């Protein structure tokens, strides 16, 4: 991602630079798109530092370097947010922010403001990812013009997909799915996962896939394994659990990471057969990329393919870890461009 223009007068867009945002339960990421594909002035703000999303947005726009480029203001903006977006009112699931899209547009002075689910935006970025922005795990070859699946574990578990728009047997554009598949009920596949689920039921009435496939989910798996093994647990958070696992300091923490990877394989395989995602399954979110080679050598891919009579079917579908640093910006930019063209 590059940026060369320093004035709105030389922006590559007739309406000047565009604001892009990727809002998660923990961090709010902002950027300016100065011309098609030129995304810069990226800044990450902690959601907890701001009472409202408008406060965070205004704080970003007030940064001296951003204000200098924005000139008289930003006319067009697009926000990807970790939450269902089904109408004007948005209430975040994993954070306290809630807002009206139209009120936010007026308050911040936009002509056009688009707000979409973050995984809808991330799904929209998939066709634009280069080979350097993704890493294949396991075998399989993508089938051209076939659906793509997307999952990602971070603060929560995002699920989406990209369906080709077919005309005369050819794909012409894509439709991103508006999914909340992370809240589907968790399904264990072996006795250890049954024990983990039974422990989770002592804390939650409904145990979704997201309860395990997330940062707090790794902590839940840790508590469950301590209970299952009858060992005293420490009060440690997910960064320390992962660090100890990756550094080889704690066998139990490594078991936690391994259980997480295998469970994610089940979710990915379920998505593959549900969507017929023969174009590939993509893995985003903040957790898996940080696991690096540990994820690649985990039981993820074996579990992904473990679908009995459909093991061969899934074996032909590749799985990729998204390594691009800010892929949601690419997707939400494409969505905003499409909205402006149709206006």
The answer to whether the CB of 124 falls within 8 A of the CB of 174 is yes
23 labeled part of a ligand binding site: yes
| Listed residue (209, 154, 149) closest to 177, CA to CA | 149
127 backbone φψ class: left, alpha, beta (φ>0; ψ -120 to 50): alpha
Q: How far apart are CA 305 and CA 318, in angstroms?
A: 10
The answer to whether 26 is a known ligand-binding residue is yes
Is 289 exposed, middle or buried, given 0-12, 13-18 or 19+ CB atoms closer than 10 A? middle
For 101, other C-beta atoms within 10 Å of its C-beta total 16
Per the CB < 8 A criterion, the answer to whether 328 and 122 are in contact is yes
Q: Please give the backbone phi and psi of residue 275, each rounded to the nearest 5 degrees, phi first.
A: -90, -15
Q: Is 250 helix (H, G, I), strand (E, B) or coil?
A: coil
Q: Is 25 annotated as a binding residue?
A: yes
Q: Are 20 and 42 contacting, i.e. CB atoms less than 8 angstroms apart? A: no
| Strands 89-91 and 98-100, bridge-based pairing | antiparallel
* CA–CA separation, 76 and 112 (whole Å): 5
Does 245 carry a binding-site annotation? no
Residue 21 annotated as binding?
A: yes
Per the annotation, does 93 bind a ligand?
Answer: no
Annotated binding site for ATP: 21-26
Annotated binding site: 21-26
């Amino acid at each position: 991602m590059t940026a060369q223009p320093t004035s709105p007068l030389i922006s590559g867009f007739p309406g000047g630079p565009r604001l892009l945002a990727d809002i998660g339960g923990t961090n709010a990421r902002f950027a300016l798109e100065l011309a098609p594909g030129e995304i810069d002035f990226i800044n990450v703000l902690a959601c907890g530092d701001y009472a409202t999303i408008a406060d965070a947005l205004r704080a970003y726009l007030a940064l001296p370097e951003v204000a200098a480029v924005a000139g008289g203001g930003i006319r067009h903006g697009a926000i990807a947010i970790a939450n269902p977006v089904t109408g004007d009112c948005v209430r975040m699931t994993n954070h306290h922010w809630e807002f009206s899209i139209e009120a936010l547009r007026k308050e911040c002075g936009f002509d056009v403001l688009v707000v979409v689910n973050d995984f809808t935006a991330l799904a929209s970025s998939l066709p634009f990812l280069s080979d350097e922005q993704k890493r294949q795990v396991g075998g399989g070859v993508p089938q051209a013009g076939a659906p793509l699946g997307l999952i990602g574990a971070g603060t929560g578990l995002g699920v989406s997909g990209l369906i080709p728009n077919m005309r005369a047997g050819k794909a012409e554009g894509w439709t991103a799915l508006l999914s909340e598949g992370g809240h589907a009920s968790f399904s264990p596949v072996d006795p250890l996962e049954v024990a983990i689920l039974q422990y989770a039921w002592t804390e939650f009435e409904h145990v979704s896939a997201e309860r395990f496939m997330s940062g707090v989910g790794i902590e839940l798996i840790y508590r469950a394994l301590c209970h299952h093994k009858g060992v005293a647990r420490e009060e440690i958070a997910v960064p320390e659990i992962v660090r100890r696992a990756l550094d080889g300091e704690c066998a139990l923490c490594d078991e936690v990471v391994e259980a997480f990877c295998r469970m994610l394989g089940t979710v990915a395989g379920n998505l593959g057969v549900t969507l017929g995602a023969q174009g590939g399954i993509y893995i985003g979110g903040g957790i898996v990329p940080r696991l690096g080679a540990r994820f690649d050598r985990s039981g993820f891919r074996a579990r992904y393919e473990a679908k009995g009579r459909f093991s061969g079917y899934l074996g032909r579908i590749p799985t990729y870890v998204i390594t691009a640093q800010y892929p949601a910006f690419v997707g939400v930019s494409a969505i905003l461009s499409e909205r402006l063209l149709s206006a």
